[in-house]
Structure 1
């Protein structure tokens, strides 16, 4: 679990499409450096959010100046990590510990989809970014003044257009220096993780409704029966 408060920006040192080393697992791997400040307590198997994606550390050097992670095919399909190249900056955050203040919001590091930047407008010393979702169904989990994780950064929604599957956030001056979003332009992509709360509520309602529909004696079915009976009586009374 993460907070969405980026600790540092690392640099992609190497992106390997077929890493045959023991730490590469015969798949895609990513080596990230310039991040020694978050590697002081690193261990193999630790989770580090990389542009919002929870990835497992498979290797690090003795001096703890870089670390390597593997990227699964599903992760490549869901995220924009496959577009990374040597020299790119990435947002990094270690998994939370019990003594960390939750200054952002609960972020799983499980990216739902990607979005494209369709607007970038200065507003005083802040920047308003507007994004369009690739998978439009996720717009239903995005609400005005709600949380969202963009490339792993916890941000607040300032506007939502449900018809266009677009939403906006405002990046303040302080954050512009701490996260990679300020380096991106219109047309660039970002990783999106919607707030888990909305998905949990939706699933609870769906399961509850299905259970009530299957139960003939449920409150919902009894209510439907009463409404149908009332409507039928109204129609009969008009004859």
Structure 2
């Protein structure tokens, strides 16, 4: 489990087969990976990878076929800059949101523009397995960075985030160009809510009807406070 608060930047290089070599920058504070051990989990661009071997400045990890299929790892040529975050310690501060490191799919940067107090980034999503969990003011992890969806279209296929200068400068988001791929993970709470409604007893038809209605909403019929109250969410 992670928070989506990136601790440092590093480099990822495919070694052989599905094996990956990850090293962190020289500027990384010693405490970030001070107690890294065999079998630990590290979020690499938001992807939960298991340490199979480690040394003073990095580690090896293996990527499963599912991970390669769902993430940006498959398209890496040479060495890539990646965001790194060690797993969350029990009792630590949760400054972002609960991030599992299990990527839902790929998104693409459409545009980025600097404002007086942030960087506005627009992303495009083609996979409905990803877009269904993108909602206005919801949480999302982009390359492992915990962000809030400022707004999105009705289907979640296009969404906007505002990235503060500190986050923009200290993650690999600043290096993205339009068309670049990013790893996306939707809020895990939304996934559980959806499954509970889908598996509700037959007597709970109202819950299922509510879910069906929400998943077929169009821009002309947005979810409103009145809609939620009408369907038992008030």
TM range (shorter): 0.7 to 0.9
Task: For 2:149 and 2:198, locate their aligned partners in 1 and report how far apart those are by CA, in whole Å.
Answer: 25
Would you say 1:149 and 2:141 are equivalent positions? yes
Q: Is the Cα contact below 8 Å between 1:140 and 1:162 reproduced in 2?
A: no
CA displacement at 1:66 relative to structure 2: 1.3
Specify the alignment match of 2:46 in structure 1.
52
The structure in which a higher percent of residues are helix is: 1
Specify the alignment match of 1:40 in structure 2.
34
* TM-score, normalisation: structure 2: 0.81
**Which of 148-157 and 75-84 deviates more?**
75-84
For structure 2, the residue ranges without an aligned partner over 5 or more in a row are 207-234
Secondary structure at the aligned position of 1:132 is classed as strand
For structure 1, the residue ranges without an aligned partner over 5 or more in a row are 19-27, 213-217, 222-239
CA displacement at 1:164 relative to structure 2: 7.0
Q: Structure 1 residues 118 and 220 mapped into 2: Cα distance closer, same or farther (>3 Å)?
A: closer
Aligned residues: 202
Q: Is the Cα contact below 8 Å between 1:139 and 1:162 reproduced in 2?
A: no
Task: For 1:50 and 1:5, locate their aligned partners in 2 and report how far apart those are by CA, in whole Å.
Answer: 12
Larger Rg: 1
Listed one character per residue, the Cα deviations across residues 94-150 of structure 1 (whole Å, up to 9, x for unaligned) are 111112100000000000000011111221242111111130343221111110000
CA RMSD of aligned residues (A): 1.7
Task: For 2:88 and 2:204, locate their aligned partners in 1 and report how far apart those are by CA, in whole Å.
Answer: 42
Listed one character per residue, the Cα deviations across residues 151-185 of structure 1 (whole Å, up to 9, x for unaligned) are 01000101101357111101111111211111101
Q: Structure 1 residues 202 and 39 mapped into 2: Cα distance closer, same or farther (>3 Å)?
A: same
